[in-house]
């Protein structure tokens, strides 16, 4: 699908789709269609850039609930499409569990993992209006997680 999409769409086609969506010329009758304006797209990218300034953050992305990446700051060598799809799967499956347990809607989850002895990583998944914010940390000091969670909340909700 990814390769086919690259063959079928060029930059001007994407820009035309965004402009048509902003003027409500397309997508108005589609209940699942979500077109993000160019200005909003820049705002989303600014959110990721602000979060990425926090110590230990290796990259972040926002992925729609459909698993498609909306914006990303992850570097080369990272498969952002796979990260987006897996982030969606993790949060939605965990959210299903919280609903079954009748403890409410899952808003955020923090995963602490160990790749090898001494190589610990952290992933934070947060449900946001347009999808899921995924923040990836390498070599993080666990004492600073609360500060990052606060930074994420302030960045998303203002403050």
- Specify the DSSP element, H or E, that contains 83: helix 80-100
CA 102 – CA 30 distance, rounded (Å)? 32
Give residue 63's pLDDT. Answer: 93
pLDDT bucket at 7, cuts 50 / 70 / 90: very low
- Specify the DSSP element, H or E, that contains 121: strand 119-128
Q: Which domains does the chain have, with CATH numbers?
A: 1-35 (no CATH), 44-157 (3.30.450.30)
Give residue 13's pLDDT. Answer: 56
- Which residue is it, tokens 């923090």? 110
How is residue 111 written in tokens? 């995963």
Which residue(s) pair with 76 in the sheet?
none
Give residue 18's pLDDT. Answer: 60
Q: Is the pLDDT of residue 73 over 90?
A: yes
> pTM here?
0.73
How is residue 117 written in tokens? 């002895």
pLDDT bucket at 1, cuts 50 / 70 / 90: very low
Residue 101 DSSP one-character state = T
How is residue 128 written in tokens? 């946001």
Which residue(s) pair with 103 in the sheet?
none
Give residue 27's pLDDT. Answer: 55
């Amino acid at each position: 699908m990814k390769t086919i999409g690259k063959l079928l769409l060029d930059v001007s086609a994407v820009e035309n789709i965004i402009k048509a969506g902003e003027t409500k010329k397309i997508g108005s009758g589609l209940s699942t269609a979500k077109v993000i304006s160019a200005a909003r797209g820049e705002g989303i990218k600014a959110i990721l850039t602000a979060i990425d300034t926090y110590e230990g953050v290796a990259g972040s992305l926002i992925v729609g609930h459909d698993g498609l990446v909306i914006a990303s700051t992850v570097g080369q060598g990272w498969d952002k499409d796979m990260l987006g799809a897996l982030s969606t799967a993790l949060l939605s499956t965990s959210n299903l569990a919280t609903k079954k347990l009748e403890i409410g809607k899952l808003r955020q989850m923090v995963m602490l993992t160990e790749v090898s002895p001494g190589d610990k990583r952290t992933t934070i998944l947060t449900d946001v209006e347009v999808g899921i914010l995924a923040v990836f940390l390498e070599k993080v000091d666990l004492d600073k997680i609360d500060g990052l969670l606060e930074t994420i909340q302030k960045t998303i909700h203002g403050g």
